[in-house]
Structures are given as structure tokens and as C-alpha cells.
């Protein structure tokens, strides 16, 4: 048995040294801690430790430093500054920058562009994109160019008292500086300046769109949008039996017929560049897995027996796995298609499917993960342990004590009780009861139901008009911030210890260099933490609800219910409200009465 706890290895490269060190110490290389003693173009000398020690922990903090980044406002634009990692520290990832941009309402730009800045990691601010929200000190013309280069808008941020007023020539010059030469609406610009239309965005440049050939017109031999519009029975309930979610086809079935396209015409963008129309010969793009385009007959046929769906314009046939029940006889299910369970799922089991999941009977403490829709013919009582996550719609008769994440809509027939819901679009309850009681609900769209809350005043919280993804990104930023603060505490402890060592051995060159290095790292972490704290606060302040988001309560809104449109709170107080519609306009919640004849677009 090898009792060595450390070893010094000389090798041509660090990778080879790590392999030799792990072999000698008989330990997995992922558990090694090391210190580079000497390196050159020809060799590297590394000291490896069998396990982490206080000495190696301190060394890791000093030599292996994570990279970090800052987003700043400079002259009407967002600038990204990236600091590189050191040693084996974690680099900055483009996903982190994109998530931070989303929280700060900075418009999306190319992931490759961000990666280029990250790869350079110069520590110097580099322009990302226009960011007009930061301008606050002078009259500023913000020019926004559409991603397709077919339009441009301007917004004028007014000067502070005594500041320089914008003139027409300034606007034309700003457009010229951006090489915009075609489609400028001079009259619109004159009116904006004349009427001093500040803090509003106006489209003042438009190109001529190309007229593409009309895409092949598909005649579907299946329902491309099953379940919509939602079918109701005589009791005004969603009729799950008639929605035909799982559409079975046989091998060789004709799924769609393709008609010819029509000719197109070129356009011109705002930079005066011609925009050729797109040739119409892309019928095969419409065909996904297990489907095939029969070009001579201009038909799309199924290659297997399975379940046909249309998503993002692509016809796909996924295999279907059918089960009576999911239990110890089947184990957990992980299937690259759609899953149909005619019975139930025993507690503790997981069903994961790339396609849809349909369950016939009541379920409990289970986990469902779907890349499409989830259809519960009965419902779920998760006892606070059951969870469902789907990228499409979720349909159920009832939901109780469960955690739900839906990438589209949530449609429930009877009731939702004591559950945590995160729904990207709308929540609709249509049934005899159609009530939501207790729990916390976050949705990006609108909420329609008959009863919200209960007579027992059970705490019920609804956050409406904000994509739940933003909340998850904020939680992630909080977690990252906490980790940074923990690391800073360790660094300060190491700094204090090094200062003590230096007092007893004041002429130690090693300790002086070590202390200087710690001081630099501590300042970097402080700067990063301060920047993250500021951006976290800004992200919270930017939780504005989207427009045209309703809370529609057809019968009763009970006391004990709290509704948030972003930061704006609506509390029912001690009195129930009947037949009410809520909408947020200019950060004020507007109440109106519910009218069955009125059309609410949700």
C-alpha cells in the first residue's frame, strides 16, 4: 500500500504530470491538489498532494482564480469587461453574460460576439450593444437598428435643465453615422423634434421587405393543434376525452400534402443593400424524425407507427411507449418519444419523455419531465413531493400540493390547491369549480378562473405578467453571490494569517509576494461582489409586468389573496370581491367588472 501523501513530478506537460501524480499516489486525478514549482517550454515541475490541506486550500485560492465580468453603461451603450481566470480557475461563460443581459433588459446579441470578447478577456470595456436606459445626463439620440436591418427607430432622452436641445440635423447626422441611407421618414423626424416627443421610441426608417415565394401550402391529414380551441362539455368543463392529444398514425400514412409555391420579389434594407427573396425549395425542412417527403407525389408520409405532432412547422412522428402502470415491474421510464400510461404511476417513480406524457389515472408523489405536453386525465396530489416539468402545455383535472413548471399554458378543469406553479404563458381553469386556492403562482401571461382564494383566507399569492425564468435567474445570481462572499471570507482569513507571518519574518520575500498577491485577489473579489450586488438590485427593479395581462375572476376573489404585477401589489383586504377583472396600466392596477360578453384575449 502506498502511504505517500505528496510527490513531486517532472513531465513535458501539466496533463502528463497529473496522470503520473495520480498513478503514483493511487488516487483519482480529480481529487488531486497541486502546486507548480517550476515550468519552461520543455518541462513542468509540479508538487501533488494526496488530499487537501490548509496549505493547499490557501494555495488554490491564490493561484486558481475564477474569471469574472462587468457590464457598464458608457455613452449610450452597454460595455462588457471580462477578466481572465488564473490557474485552473473557472472561465466566464457566454451563458452567464446573456443571462445577466436578460435581467438588465439589454437586448440580445450574437453569442459568438460575446464569446470573442470572453476569449480576449482583456480587462478593457468592449461594446456589446446600445443600452439607452443608462443615459441620464444630457439630451441623447438613441438609434436602434432592427436585427433584420429593415427598420430603425430613434428615442430622444431629454437634457437636464439648461442642456442642449436636439435639432433635426442632429437626428439625420446620427442616422448617417450609422450608415443608414434608405427609407428615412424626414416628416416624422421633423414632427418628433417640433413636438419634443421625449422618452418615446419612434420608427423613422423602414426598408422595403422582400416578397418571398409563398411557402408550400400544407394540407394536414391530422390535427396540427390538438385540443385548441378547448372543447367544453355541457357543464362548461374542459372535455379531456375529446381533445385527441395522442394522434396515432400507421407506417405509410400520408401526413400532409404539399402545394406549389409562388414567385417572390427582392427588397432593400435601410443601408441601401438589396435583399434577395428566398427561393422556395425547402419542403424537406418541414419534415422531422420518422417522417419523409415523397417528392414525386409531393406528400409527407410516416415511416413508423407512432404519434404525429407539428411543432415549429416541423412534422414529427415519435414512437409511443404504452404502459398499464409504472411501478417496480417497469422501473423509471426514460423514453425518446411519447409515453401513454393508461393506469397510474406509483409514488417515488419518474417518467421522462422527449415527447408527450399522458396518464389515465390519479398520480401522487411522482416526477414527470416532458419535452412536449403533459395530459393528466385525472389529476395529481403530490403531497408536496410530486412535480411536473414540461416544455409544452399541461392539462389536468386537478392539481394539489405539487410543484409545476410549464413552458407554455396550464389548463385545469376543477381546482388547483396548495401548489407552487411556474407557468410561462396562461393559466386557465374552466369547470364547475375552476378555483385556485393557496400556494404561490408565477405566470408570464394571464389568469382566468371562477374562484381565487377561499373563505378560510388561506394565504394565496399570485405574481402575474413576469416570465418565471427571470425569477430563476435571480435565484441563480443570489447563489453565485453567496459563493463569492464565502470565498472572500476565506481569502481575508488567509490575508490575516500571511500578515501575521510577515510580522514574525518581515524580510521574507516569499511572504511579501504572497501578501501582495492576496491583496490584489481580495480587491478583485470585492469588485466582483459589488458589481453583482448592484446588478441583482437592478434586476429586481426591472421586474416589470408585460402589457395586456389579466386576472379574470368570474365569481369570487376572496380575502387573503395577494396579487403582484411586478412590484405593484393588490391586496383584497378583509372584503371579498365578486366578478372582477384586474389589469396593470402604468404601474397602477385597474379594476373593472367581469362581463361574459366581453372578449378577453389571453
Tens-place pLDDT, residues 458-503: 899 999 988 898 888 888 889 999 999 999 999 899 888 888 877 7
* pLDDT level of residue 437 (50, 70, 90 thresholds): very high
- Compute the mean pLDDT over every residue in the chain, rounded to the nearest whole number: 82
Predicted confidence band at 59 (pLDDT cuts at 50, 70, 90)? very low
Q: Per the structure block, which three cell numbers stand in for 106?
A: 439589454
Q: Are 408 and 227 in contact (CB under 8 A)?
A: no
Task: Give yes or no for a contact between 58 and 74, defined as CB atoms under 8 angstroms apart.
Answer: no
The residues with which 435 forms a beta bridge, in sequence order, are 415, 451
For residues 127-138, give the mean pLDDT.
Answer: 69
Q: Does residue 208 carry a pLDDT above 70?
A: yes
Which of 4-13, 101-110, 225-234, 481-490 is least confident?
225-234
DSSP H/E element including 549:
none
Cα separation, 325 vs 331, whole angstroms:
10
How far is it, in rounded angstroms, from Cα 513 to Cα 521?
12
Q: State the pLDDT confidence band at 140, using cuts at 50, 70 and 90.
A: confident
Question: pLDDT confidence of 77, banded at 50, 70, 90?
Answer: confident
pLDDT at res. 53 = 47
> CA 532 to CA 522: how far, in whole Å?
15
pLDDT digits (tens, 9 = 90+) for 258-279: 876 677 778 889 998 888 887 7
Q: What are residue 201's DSSP bridge partners? A: 155
Question: What b-and-e string marks burial along 408-443, b requiring 16 or more CB atoms within 10 Å of the CB?
Answer: bbbbbbbbbbbbbbbbbbbbbbbbebbbbbbbebbb
Mean pLDDT across 49-59: 51
In this predicted structure, which of 113-127, 129-143, 538-552 has the lowest mean pLDDT?
129-143
Q: C-alpha grid cell for residue 460?
A: 394565496
Query: CA 531: distance to chain centroid?
Result: 22
Within a 13 Å sphere around the CA of 56, how many CA atoms are in the beta-carbon half? 16
What is the Cα–Cα distance from 121 to 92, expressed in whole angstroms? 9
| pLDDT for 28 | 66
Could you tell me the pLDDT band of residue 344, with boundaries at 50, 70 and 90? very high
Mean pLDDT for the stretch of residues 171-193: 86
Strand-pair category, 427-429 with 410-417: parallel
Q: Are 143 and 201 in contact (CB under 8 A)?
A: no
pLDDT exceeds cutoff 80 at 216 = no
Q: Provide the H-helix boundaries in 505-580.
A: 509-541
Q: What is the DSSP string of 391-446?
A: SS-EEEEEEEEEEEEESS-EEEEEEEES-EEEESS-EEE-SSS-EEESEEEEESS-
Residue 382 pLDDT:
94
Strongest mean pLDDT among 60-64, 275-279, 436-440, 522-526 = 436-440
Residue 330 contacts by C-beta under 8 Å, 6 or more apart in sequence? 323
Q: What is the pLDDT of residue 277?
A: 82
User: Sign (positive/negative) of CA torsion 26, 30, 34, 36?
Assistant: positive
In this prediction, residue 56 carries a pLDDT of 44
pLDDT at 597 over 60: no
| 574 pLDDT above the threshold of 70 | no
pLDDT of residue 13: 74
Q: DSSP secondary-structure letter at 520?
A: H
- Joined together, the cell numbers standing for residue 503 give 510580522
Least confident range from 1-15, 284-298, 359-373, 440-454: namely: 1-15
Report phi then psi at 522, rounded to 5: -60, -40
Amino acid at each position: 500500500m502506498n502511504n505517500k501523501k505528496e510527490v513531486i513530478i517532472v513531465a513535458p506537460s501539466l496533463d502528463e504530470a497529473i496522470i503520473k501524480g495520480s498513478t503514483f499516489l493511487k488516487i483519482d486525478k480529480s481529487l488531486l491538489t497541486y502546486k507548480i514549482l517550476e515550468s519552461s517550454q520543455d518541462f513542468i515541475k509540479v508538487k501533488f498532494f494526496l488530499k487537501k490541506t490548509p496549505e493547499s486550500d490557501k494555495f488554490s485560492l491564490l493561484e486558481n482564480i475564477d474569471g469574472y465580468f462587468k457590464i457598464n453603461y458608457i455613452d449610450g451603450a452597454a460595455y462588457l469587461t471580462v477578466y481572465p481566470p488564473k490557474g485552473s480557475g473557472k472561465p466566464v461563460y457566454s451563458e452567464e453574460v446573456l443571462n445577466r443581459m436578460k435581467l438588465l433588459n439589454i437586448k440580445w446579441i450574437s453569442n459568438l460576439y460575446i464569446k470573442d470578447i470572453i476569449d480576449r478577456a482583456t480587462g478593457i470595456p468592449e461594446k456589446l450593444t446600445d443600452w439607452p436606459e443608462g443615459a441620464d445626463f444630457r439630451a441623447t439620440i438613441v438609434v436602434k437598428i432592427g436585427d433584420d436591418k429593415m427598420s430603425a427607430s430613434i428615442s430622444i432622452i431629454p437634457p437636464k435643465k439648461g442642456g442642449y436641445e436636439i435639432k433635426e440635423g442632429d437626428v439625420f447626422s446620427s442616422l448617417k453615422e450609422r450608415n443608414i441611407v434608405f427609407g428615412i421618414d424626414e416628416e416624422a423626424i421633423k414632427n418628433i423634434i417640433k413636438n419634443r416627443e421625449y422618452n418615446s421610441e419612434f420608427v423613422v426608417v423602414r426598408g422595403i421587405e422582400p416578397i418571398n415565394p409563398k411557402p408550400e401550402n400544407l394540407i394536414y391529414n391530422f390535427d396540427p393543434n390538438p385540443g385548441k380551441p378547448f372543447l367544453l362539455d355541457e357543464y362548461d368543463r374542459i372535455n379531456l376525452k375529446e381533445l385527441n392529444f395522442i394522434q396515432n398514425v400507421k407506417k405509410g400514412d400520408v401526413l400532409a400534402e404539399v402545394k406549389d409555391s409562388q414567385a417572390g420579389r427582392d427588397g432593400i434594407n435601410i443601408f441601401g443593400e438589396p435583399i434577395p427573396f428566398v427561393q422556395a425549395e425547402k419542403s424537406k425542412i418541414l419534415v422531422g424524425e420518422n417522417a419523409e417527403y415523397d417528392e414525386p407525389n409531393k406528400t409527407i408520409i410516416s415511416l413508423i407507427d407512432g404519434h404525429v405532432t407539428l411543432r415549429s412547422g416541423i412534422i414529427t412522428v415519435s414512437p409511443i411507449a404504452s404502459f398499464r402502470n409504472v411501478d417496480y415491474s417497469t422501473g423509471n421510464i426514460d423514453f425518446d418519444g411519447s409515453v401513454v400510461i393508461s393506469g397510474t404511476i406509483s409514488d417515488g417513480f419518474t417518467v421522462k419523455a422527449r415527447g408527450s406524457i399522458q396518464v389515465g389515472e390519479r398520480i401522487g408523489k411522482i416526477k414527470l419531465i416532458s419535452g412536449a405536453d403533459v395530459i393528466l386525465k385525472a389529476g395529481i396530489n403530490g403531497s408536496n413531493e410530486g412535480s411536473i416539468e414540461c416544455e409544452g402545455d399541461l392539462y389536468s383535472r386537478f392539481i394539489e400540493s405539487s410543484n409545476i413548471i410549464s413552458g407554455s399554458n396550464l389548463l385545469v378543469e376543477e381546482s388547483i390547491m396548495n401548489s407552487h406553479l411556474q407557468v410561462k404563458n396562461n393559466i386557465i381553469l374552466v369547470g364547475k369549480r375552476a378555483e385556485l386556492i393557496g400556494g404561490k403562482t408565477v405566470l408570464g401571461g394571464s389568469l382566468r378562473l371562477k374562484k381565487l382564494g377561499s373563505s378560510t383566507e388561506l394565504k394565496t399569492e399570485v405574481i402575474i405578467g413576469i416570465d418565471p425564468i427571470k425569477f430563476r435567474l435571480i435565484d441563480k445570481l443570489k447563489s453565485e453571490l453567496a459563493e463569492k462572499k464565502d470565498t472572500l471570507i476565506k481569502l481575508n482569513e488567509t490575508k490575516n494569517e500571511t500578515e501575521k507571518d510577515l510580522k514574525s519574518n518581515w524580510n521574507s520575500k516569499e511572504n511579501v509576494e504572497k501578501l501582495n498577491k492576496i491583496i490584489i485577489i481580495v480587491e478583485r473579489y470585492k469588485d466582483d461582489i459589488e458589481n453583482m450586488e448592484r446588478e441583482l438590485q437592478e434586476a429586481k427593479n426591472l421586474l416589470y409586468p408585460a402589457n395586456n395581462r389579466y386576472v379574470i375572476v368570474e365569481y369570487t376573489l376572496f380575502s387573503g389573496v395577494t396579487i403582484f404585477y411586478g412590484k405593484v401589489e393588490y391586496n383584497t383586504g378583509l372584503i371579498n370581491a365578486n366578478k372582477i377583472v384586474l389589469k396593470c396600466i402604468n404601474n397602477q392596477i385597474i379594476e373593472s367588472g367581469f362581463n361574459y360578453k366581453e372578449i378577453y384575449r389571453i
